[in-house]
A and B are shown apart, each in its own frame.
Chain A
Amino acid sequence: QVQLVQSGAEVKKPGSSVKVSCKASGGTFSTYAINWVRQAPGQGLEWMGGSIPLFGTANYAQKFQDRVTITSDESTSTAFMELSSLRSEDTAIYYCARDRRQLSLGVAFDTWGQGTMVIVSS
């Protein structure tokens, strides 16, 4: 059974960057896309982008294209999401989520991390 464990909560200043990690265990890492989905307090779900570690390249939602970078380290089965130029509206829980089918990206997510709270405040 695959598990995704994310890094801990972060408090950041406006204008700074945050990098959240997502470590996979118990299954194949390279051929399953890791996606990032965020949820602002009391709000719905928003897909930010994803990447299949085997291929290395990432696809991003247009809204985040200029500010987000998704990478992965196959040697440690860990995916990363870095969001730059933070503003208060970026305060949210950030989830990593794995696609249920190999070699598909942004389709359906059957395994989720526990979430990482990021607070942006001066």
Chain B
Amino acid sequence: DIQMTQSPSSLSASVGDSVTITCQASRDISKFLNWYQQKPGRAPKLLIYDASNLETGVPSRFSGGGSGTDFTFTISSLQPEDIATYYCQQYDTLPPRLTFGGGTKVEIK
């Protein structure tokens, strides 16, 4: 199975800061990479699919990039409501296999 290494595991930043999370795959996964936000006590929410596509209704301060083995997720201007844990997730389709990164907990300084 493909392993996803996500970093950092936690970060603290001020409101308005730009925040970047990285995810590294153990082998080339092209652009088969998604990003989710999970707030405490809630189900995850899809933010970015296929590395860089913003899901409908998601604010434009969220963005994703990368391909192959190295991916980034950026919040351009951190807001108080962005406090959450963020997960990357890769997928294979033949056969279906998917794995999540370990998560990054984002807090306000």
Contact = CB atoms under 8 A, between A and B. Distances in A.
Given A45-B87, A95-B43, A105 B49 contact: no
Contacts of A47: 98-100
Contact of A59 (B32, B36, B55, B96): B96
B10 to A, nearest CB: 13
Contact of A108 (B43, B91, B95, B99): B91
Interface residues of B, number: 26
A50 B103 contact: no
Contacts of B98: 47, 106-107
Main secondary structure of the interface of B (DSSP, over half): strand
A45 B34 CA distance: 13
A44 interface: yes
B75 interface: no
A44 B103 contact: yes
Interface residues of A, number: 23
B44 A108 contact: no
B46 A107 contact: no
Contacts of A61: 97
Interface of B: 1, 32, 34, 36, 38, 43-46, 49-50, 55, 87, 89, 91-93, 95-103
Interface of A: 37, 44-47, 50, 59, 61-62, 95, 97, 100, 104-110, 112-115
